Amino acid sequence: MTNYYIEKENKIVLFDTNKQKLISTLGFMPQYKGFEIQQTDKEIIERDGGFVFVEDVTDELLQEAKEMKLAQNKEAYEAALKSGVTYKGSLFDCDTLAAVRVMGQMAAMQAMAIEEEPAIDWFNYNYQPVTLTIPEFMELAGLITLNTRRIETLNCGFNTAIEAAATFEELDAITVDYTENKEESEESNE
């Protein structure tokens, strides 16, 4: 696409894809009358209150796009952690804090040799106690730990890929998706 533009002090002050329209605009802007109308095939965009050639700000635009993609990833990461895991028909937290609590409970159980105790009450996502046998609790702990690790591994991979993207095409090709086949996961826990 051909762009017509006027520069003043090495800054683009007016541009249009239609040369006649730009000439007509000059009738309303006498401060630019007499300036040379230049022609280019370079893309021109509005940026920071002025006009620039896209190629002059590509690195900045790519960095801004990366920051937006990183923010999108952070939001998806947090939502994935909040989505929890389902076990015995109940939803349980699986964020990092929940994983720490589970590990702490497991360590306490091992330290106190609680294997003979028949059950433990653990709170689900809605803070309702769910009575679990020790093996069931250990199975839930494993699910929470594995799911948290899966999500954190994906998060690391997405962040690394986003930062490494050298072009907009590479960045656009990154699909941030933390979902897994929940049906399979739920069927194996019933």
Provide the pLDDT for residue 102. Answer: 82
Provide the pLDDT for residue 93. Answer: 86
Task: Return the domain boundaries, the chain.
Answer: 3-41, 58-188
Provide the pLDDT for residue 120. Answer: 81
Provide the pLDDT for residue 45. Answer: 93
Task: Write the DSSP string, 106-156.
Answer: HHHHHHTTGGGS-EEEEE-TTS-EEEEEHHHHHHHHHHHHHHHHHHHHHHH
C-alpha closest to that of 115 among 91, 133, 98: 133
Provide the pLDDT for residue 113. Answer: 61
Provide the pLDDT for residue 112. Answer: 66
- Report the predicted TM-score, pTM, of the whole model to 2 decimal places: 0.71
Q: Which helix (H) or strand (E) holds 11?
A: strand 11-16
Mean pLDDT in order along the chain per 10 residues (190 residues): 92 93 90 92 92 93 97 96 91 82 78 65 89 87 90 96 96 94 47
